[in-house]
Structure 1
Amino acid sequence: MAHLFLSRVEATPDREAYRYPVPAADGAHGTEPWRSLTWAQTAERVKAIAAGLLALGVRPEERVAISSSTRVEWILADLGVMCAGAAATAVYPSTNADETVYILSDSGSRAIFVENATQLAKVVAHVERLPELGHAILFDPQAELPQVEGLEVLSLGELEKRGLVYLEEHPDAIEETVRAIEPEQLATLIYTSGTTGRPKGVRLVHDCWSYQAVAQEAGGLLRSEDVQFLWLPLSHVFGKALISGQIRTGHVMAVDGRVDRIITNLPAVRPTLMASAPRIFEKVYNGIAGKARAEGGAKYKIFLWAAKVARDYARAGQESMAATGRRSVPLSLVVQHAIADRLVYGKIRAAFGGNLRASVSGSAALAPDIGYFFSGAGVHVLEGYGLTETSAGCIVNPADDYRVGTVGKPLPGTEVRIAEDGEILLRGPGVMRGYHNLAEKTAEVLESDGWLHTGDIGEMDKDGFVRITDRKKDVFKTSGGKYVAPTEIEGRFKAVCPFVSNILVIGNGRNFCSALITLDETVIMPWAASHDLGGRSYAEVVSSPQVHELIDGFVQRVNGDLQRWQTIKKFSVLSRDLDIEHGELTPSLKVKRPVVEREYAEVIEGMYDGSREA
């Protein structure tokens, strides 16, 4: 990747590389100006950071951690680490102090870039447990630099100044260091945000990222003229892979990780490409549906009609493309779609900036009905699939022939095999080289001939499109001996219930299925205000008989399309949503099932008290 970066700079030095906002000093949420860096300007800063790390004594493959939200400095630091021949250890800023210290210790990190005083405090409080960590570099220029015994704390600007002094004495240091980097040299350690136990450090080498860069371009995902909006966490493998592809094509990347600014930023950036998690599209859909319902009358009827037309239009087009290789939609549907486009869809596209060519969605499944809705509205959501262990996406839907409900086709160079038990196996250059310091864990998932056991169950059709049906470990068997794939049921519920935030289907070893449900506060509270529940708190609203009756209607609607043993017999609406702070969600917003089931064990048992075989 360091080679690719310097080649990109040489090829297009004066083209815009990165765009980033300048937040107001008082934190106000008005319109913010955006600044840019050309590739040449980016290289100046990256080389200064790389040289600064060399001046601190960092050597090839030694680890340098980054604990920060997504911002342009994260990218500069990461590229600086790679151009110094070192390896970056990614740490989620939401990770608590104990786990942060564990990751720094397990990785043997020599230095750490931290976003602000909050991230620094996690390290300072436990510095005695980190004898190998010698330096902390602060991104925030306003933060104080404390004196800490055994740890040098300096600003990013100070590190760059040291780097410039180092380059005066060793002007070719960066080019020489980069030339010495081998494809199999460690580039990144990303610790899995697993649902159980301590996270495992995934060893990703330079060739993993180089493969991602080439495969994304070859697969048609990226174009040199794109403007991509990046808000995903760069501590997550998905975000990191996007940077690799951007370096390959040289397109513009607008960077701002503040989730509460996404809606504001989209019209300002007007991206042609954006990557996201399904939760964002679910929230957007729920918000649109909730607003239409609140307006009531003709507007709500128009929305329901337009939503059905969008789904029918998208489904017809994709089915004809799959059958004949040509997109064909009945004329009557074309006419309805044109009317709905003027009334509804144009406003939806405008909310995404008006220029969005495609959005890549990963990390979890998107409910097909939501996928068809956005497809029909002209917001093309390309679902993909990958793991931390595969340096992110290795299967992605092609932009010119994507199929809702699948995760697409393997990227060039990736092989897919479906095992006898349905597990998806992957092999290719993007696959990790093992777990850090965990040879036995590595052997459990990585075969000697390179095949990686993903732990996901799926199938591949005759055209090479892959569909994920569930996590192997999540599929459970009821006491009646029937297998249930909870993800499928959860996806169906999210597609029909615009109020849902999270749902967890329970039933392993039980005589029927139940569910824990949380509701989206921004959608349920306006509904409550118009149904005689105004003035009550969120907890009071979701525990009310009116809300239970409302959600029961959606449960019964889903149950009507399920086998008897799959149906949700009982459910509980929780008094608050699941979150990262309580350890119920991973930083990439996946539900930690074991944690939630432990936390709400009493609620779950209450749903099964006195139950008989169903």
Structure 2
Amino acid sequence: MPINFDTSFLDHMPQNVATQFLDRVAASGKREAFRFPRGEAWESVTWAQAGDSVRRLAAGLLSLGLEPEQRVGIASSTRYEWIQADLAVMCAAGATTTVYPSTGAEDTAYILGDSSCRFVFVEDGSQLEKLQAHRAELAGLEKVISFDDSIADGDWVITMGALGELGDAYLKEHPDAIETVAKEIRPDQLSTLIYTSGTTGKPKGVRTLHKAWVFEGEAIKAQGILDETDLQFLWLPMAHSFGKVLLSTQLACGFATAIDGRVDKIVDNLGIVKPTFMGAAPRIFEKAHARIVTMTASEGGAKEKIFKKAFEVGTKVDELTMAGKSVPLPLKLQHALFDKLVFSKVRDRFGGRVKFFISGSAALNAEIASWFHAAGILILEGYGMTENAAGATVNHPDQYKIGTVGMPFPGTEVRIAEDGEVQLKGPHIMAGYHNRDEATAEAMTADGWLRTGDKGELDKDGYLRITGRIKELFKTSGGKYIAPPAIEAKFKALCPFVSQFMVFGAERNFVSALVTLDPDAIAGWAKENGVSGAYEELVKSPKIVEMIGDYVEQLNGQLNRWETIKKWEILDHDLTIESGELTPSLKVKRAVVEANNKDLIASFYS
């Protein structure tokens, strides 16, 4: 039977993010709140210390004249200062406008201008340069606050420390200013503008209200999966709604968070921090899976045989357990042995204490989720979008179905429209797109539900399964419908060397694909197989083309005849955020990839 969560929290939620934070500081003052790297060591602060620093910064913003709902930008990677700045904006009744550090100068200027930011926090000189290059267009930007003490000029650009000093002076004159301001923030007041990185046109600013973020945190707390004894590792971009919702969850539940936004440090940091949970995009799990599989394959011999046998046994045990059947004693004993020899070592790579991972922002491959599950690592897939403050459904540690995105949050409604579209309703739905009334009207139904653009289905137990993007489905010239994500997911589960596999063929007579390889994984394979050269040379190697071709043949053996890949090619580069072909949350911008490779795709059909 599905779990029935208590929804009484809806009647007594904190009024806004500011009071939610201040309440947490009061309740958990002496407990650890955040830890972050300083050089090679990690520094830690309590909730009381975080509260003091946020109050000073918030008062500094008030001293500069920030008024309710006025926008303050943050252009930075994920770090403790980002969270301090965001919470200060919340406690000063402002609204945070998030800017990815990878966003170009032109789009940065557009976002800050479109949102009418009066102030902006910047991480370093590279972010400041973007503003200086477009200063004439940013006439309303009064002050830049730098995390880096070395780049302030004392006039237009001041340091975070200087902002805190302004706050100290303000609090001497107005000692209760922050508490007074916090109490006056309405639940339906603007909290955040997050600009979605669309594949075409200018990004749209999603207007998220205080009640939306508060609801998200309280709804996760109501599910009882996290409490103040947990430790989160946070690397996700805070400019993305997934990162923001994890902060809301922390305020609601009171656990500590270790923060380091450097993606290349994730695995090392997990070993040091030893968290109990982490949120991540599916690409992180795909890379970890590929790395472990390819490393074991390179060792060969007995180790590889034991590894493969372990996962064969782990999968059998999972199948029996999930079907409600008993596991025979010989299989139990085998499983216990392999848990000690193989699975415990896999878990140790992630710190050894992880209760579960939360996967979101894109579809998680069910086969990869099952592989981790066999090793005793639970990945709870969830679902949502920026327009609903990130979380709408999630699997629960006590009740989950791999391949689904779980059940609706308590207080969230989910329905499937006649055309199969998933639609959402609840306190977390956006108040529209900033300055974009027409786009807002298109995003909502006449009776007030959010159109997600995703195709899905609810099973008899209320679990949601996402089957693809409505706009991503295409029809071949033979009239057959193709769902690219399903085919792409199958290939990623088969081939540990792939980074991206993108399927095309709309209105064509067959399906084709573009392939990119994981640079680290393919470099390891090349070394073991006597192939040398840079990435762009490796992908042309006959050995590598033949190896990838074998995987394509395996894929075709699992597909309907009209879905099979007839032609494909490996691109001379992997997709990156910097190239504009991935969003900062690591989703493929399919339209951009297709436009960049239109001649190559056309050649498949000539």
Match of 1:26 in 2: none
Match of 1:159 in 2: 163
Q: Which amino acid aligns with 1:37?
A: V
Match of 2:23 in 1: 7
Match of 1:579 in 2: 576
Match of 1:433 in 2: 431
Specify which of 535, 548, 552 is matched with residue 551 of structure 1: 548
Specify which of 43, 52, 56 is matched with residue 44 of structure 1: 52
Specify which of 34, 46, 52 is matched with residue 42 of structure 2: 34
Match of 1:131 in 2: 139
Question: Does the 8 Å contact 1:310/1:372 carry over to 2?
Answer: no
Match of 1:68 in 2: 76
| Of 199-208 and 309-318, the range deviating more from structure 2 | 309-318
Per-residue CA deviations over 1:73-111 (Å, capped at 9, x if unaligned) read 111100000000000001000000000000001100010
Question: Does the 8 Å contact 1:146/1:153 carry over to 2?
Answer: yes
Superposed CA RMSD in Å reads 1.2
1:332 Cα deviation (Å)? Answer: 4.3
Matches within 5 A, 1:480-491: 480-491=478-489
Local SS of the residue matching 2:145: strand
TM-score scaled by length of structure 1: 0.94
Specify which of 353, 366, 380 is matched with residue 364 of structure 2: 366
Output the CA distance in 2 between the equivalents of 1:376 and 1:568: 30
Match of 1:296 in 2: 300
Match of 2:152 in 1: 145
Specify which of 315, 318, 327 is matched with residue 319 of structure 2: 315
Match of 1:230 in 2: 234
Local SS of the residue matching 1:190: strand
1:569 Cα deviation (Å)? Answer: 1.0
1:448 Cα deviation (Å)? Answer: 4.5
Relative to structure 1, is the Cα distance of residues 457 and 319 closer, same or farther in structure 2, using a 3 angstrom cutoff? farther
Question: Does the 8 Å contact 1:428/1:450 carry over to 2?
Answer: no
Match of 2:9 in 1: none
1:608 Cα deviation (Å)? Answer: 1.5
1:330 Cα deviation (Å)? Answer: 4.4
Unaligned runs of 5+ in 1: 24-31, 321-326, 610-614
Output the CA distance in 2 between the equivalents of 1:185 and 1:16: 30
Match of 2:257 in 1: 253
Match of 1:216 in 2: 220
Matches within 5 A, 1:170-181: 170-181=174-185
Local SS of the residue matching 2:136: helix
Output the CA distance in 1 between the equivalents of 2:137 and 2:328: 67
Output the CA distance in 2 between the equivalents of 1:53 and 1:527: 54
Local SS of the residue matching 1:392: coil
Question: Does the 8 Å contact 2:213/2:428 carry over to 1?
Answer: yes
Question: Does the 8 Å contact 1:315/1:372 carry over to 2?
Answer: no
TM-score scaled by length of structure 2: 0.96
Q: Which amino acid aligns with 1:63?
A: R
Output the CA distance in 2 between the equivalents of 1:298 and 1:400: 36
Output the CA distance in 2 between the equivalents of 1:330 and 1:373: 21
Output the CA distance in 2 between the equivalents of 1:329 and 1:517: 40
Relative to structure 1, is the Cα distance of residues 435 and 319 closer, same or farther in structure 2, using a 3 angstrom cutoff? farther
Output the CA distance in 2 between the equivalents of 1:318 and 1:450: 38
Per-residue CA deviations over 1:101-125 (Å, capped at 9, x if unaligned) read 0000110001000000111110011
Asked if residue 86 in structure 1 is aligned to residue 94 in structure 2, the reply is yes
Q: Which amino acid aligns with 2:125?
A: A
Output the CA distance in 2 between the equivalents of 1:452 and 1:308: 42
Relative to structure 1, is the Cα distance of residues 35 and 479 closer, same or farther in structure 2, using a 3 angstrom cutoff? same
Specify which of 302, 305, 309 is matched with residue 309 of structure 2: 305
Output the CA distance in 1 between the equivalents of 2:605 and 2:336: 50
Question: Does the 8 Å contact 2:421/2:454 carry over to 1?
Answer: yes
1:144 Cα deviation (Å)? Answer: 2.1
Aligned pair count reads 590
Per-residue CA deviations over 1:301-354 (Å, capped at 9, x if unaligned) read 22222233333333333343xxxxxx7444444333222211211111111111
Question: Does the 8 Å contact 2:310/2:338 carry over to 1?
Answer: yes
Matches within 5 A, 1:112-131: 112-131=120-139
Local SS of the residue matching 1:109: coil
Local SS of the residue matching 1:393: coil
Match of 2:599 in 1: 602
Local SS of the residue matching 2:391: strand
Output the CA distance in 1 between the equivalents of 2:480 and 2:90: 50
Per-residue CA deviations over 1:458-504 (Å, capped at 9, x if unaligned) read 11100111111101111111111111100000000000100000110
Match of 2:6 in 1: none
Question: Does the 8 Å contact 1:318/1:403 carry over to 2?
Answer: no
Output the CA distance in 2 between the equivalents of 1:603 and 1:115: 39
Q: Which amino acid aligns with 1:145?
A: A
Per-residue CA deviations over 1:194-243 (Å, capped at 9, x if unaligned) read 22211100000000011011101112332221011101110000000000
Output the CA distance in 2 between the equivalents of 1:340 and 1:574: 39
Match of 2:497 in 1: 499
Output the CA distance in 1 between the equivalents of 2:283 and 2:313: 23
Question: Does the 8 Å contact 2:188/2:209 carry over to 1?
Answer: yes
Matches within 5 A, 1:493-572: 493-533=491-531, 535-572=532-569
Question: Does the 8 Å contact 2:124/2:151 carry over to 1?
Answer: no
Unaligned runs of 5+ in 2: 1-16
Output the CA distance in 2 between the equivalents of 1:195 and 1:316: 43
Match of 1:28 in 2: none
Relative to structure 1, is the Cα distance of residues 331 and 506 closer, same or farther in structure 2, using a 3 angstrom cutoff? farther
Output the CA distance in 2 between the equivalents of 1:530 and 1:18: 43
